[in-house]
Structure 1
């Protein structure tokens, strides 16, 4: 049985969800961001137990199909921006359609309905959080960050950063008060 879980955004989340499900007596076959495969079907009462247990850690069991799709889209974008080792040289709509095996227009409509923002705005917000992370660690120049995240130029990255955060990347790097967000807050 597959369970869809909201707010699973990192490997630590996967470990927590797996541990909590095992505490409840369920054997996990696969734990991925946003989704868990169990070795058995679960009853409605079991779903309530699971939901209550996971809610203590900020996770939410998703039953609604549209909410599941929106969460899968967020997970795919987070994977692409934060965990992909290669520079982002991909068409977002084609990538998401391929990942979810659905037409982008349908995915876009569902995402906007559920999240009250466009996929593109969410993607940009995730990229800006990744820029903040990279600036914080100071291992790459702004030019290297722009290349890594597929910005056409440093000027484009800087303009988008300022539009989203209200400050420039250099002001942020110098220790401004605009702190990073956790991925589930973006």
Structure 2
């Protein structure tokens, strides 16, 4: 049986979810961002309700309907695409999402926009902005290296988009705001 869980956006989240499921006597086969596969073929109504309450207390949410599952899968795929090492910056976001989720991009885009009130592209930009803030905060890469890693054609393109979102340039951010990053689950909620 598969469970879909909203706000599960990091490895620590996966560990917490696995531990909680095991406390309930359930047997997770795999725990991935936003998705858990259990060895149990079906859960009772009581088991589902107990899990729902437990996860809500931890800031997660069990997802029941198809559209919510698709939206969560889009969010998880974007987070993986933007925040994980060795991401292929040459592939178009639409292609990546279509291939990764096995849905046509226009369907994903419309479903996401209808339910979230923002486009997938706006969500990607918010995620990229948080990643850029993280990279600036680490201080290990210069702006050219950050632009290259994040798939921008130049520092000017990175700076322009960063300024549209943040209201300041990356240089100004580096000088004054290097500690105001948001957790990934907050980026997913705030938009």
TM class, shorter-length: over 0.9
Aligned length: 186
Cα separation, 2, equivalents of 1:178 and 1:115: 27
Q: How does 1:75-154 map to 2 (within 5 A)?
A: 75-154=76-155
Q: Which runs of 5+ in 1 are unaligned?
A: none
Instruction: Please give the secondary structure, in 2, of the residue aligned with 1:19.
Output: helix
Residue 37 of structure 1 corresponds to which residue in structure 2? 37
- What TM-score do you get using the length of structure 1 for normalisation? 0.97
Contact 1:87–1:148 (Cα < 8 Å) also in 2 = no
Residue 49 of structure 2 corresponds to which residue in structure 1? 48
Deviates more, 1:21-30 or 1:176-185: 176-185
Q: CA deviation at 1:168?
A: 1.1
Cα separation, 2, equivalents of 1:57 and 1:142: 37
Q: Deviations over 1:147-172 (max 9, x none)?
A: 00111110110111111011111111
Q: Which runs of 5+ in 2 are unaligned?
A: none
Instruction: Please give the secondary structure, in 2, of the residue aligned with 1:174.
Output: helix
Cα separation, 2, equivalents of 1:81 and 1:39: 31
Q: CA deviation at 1:84?
A: 3.3
Residue 11 of structure 2 corresponds to which residue in structure 1? 11
Cα separation, 1, equivalents of 2:178 and 2:20: 35
Structure 1 segments (4+ residues) deviating >6 Å: none
Instruction: Please give the secondary structure, in 2, of the residue aligned with 1:5.
Output: strand
Q: CA deviation at 1:57?
A: 1.2
Cα separation, 2, equivalents of 1:116 and 1:86: 27
Residue 184 of structure 1 corresponds to which residue in structure 2? 185
Deviates more, 1:37-46 or 1:80-89: 80-89
Cα separation, 2, equivalents of 1:86 and 1:94: 13
Residue 24 of structure 1 corresponds to which residue in structure 2? 24
Contact 1:172–1:178 (Cα < 8 Å) also in 2 = no
Q: CA deviation at 1:90?
A: 1.0
Cα separation, 2, equivalents of 1:63 and 1:86: 30
Cα separation, 2, equivalents of 1:140 and 1:178: 17
- What TM-score do you get using the length of structure 2 for normalisation? 0.94
- Over aligned residues, Cα RMSD in angstroms? 1.2
- Shift in CA distance, 95/161, structure 1 to aligned 2, threshold 3 Å: same
Residue 73 of structure 2 corresponds to which residue in structure 1? 72
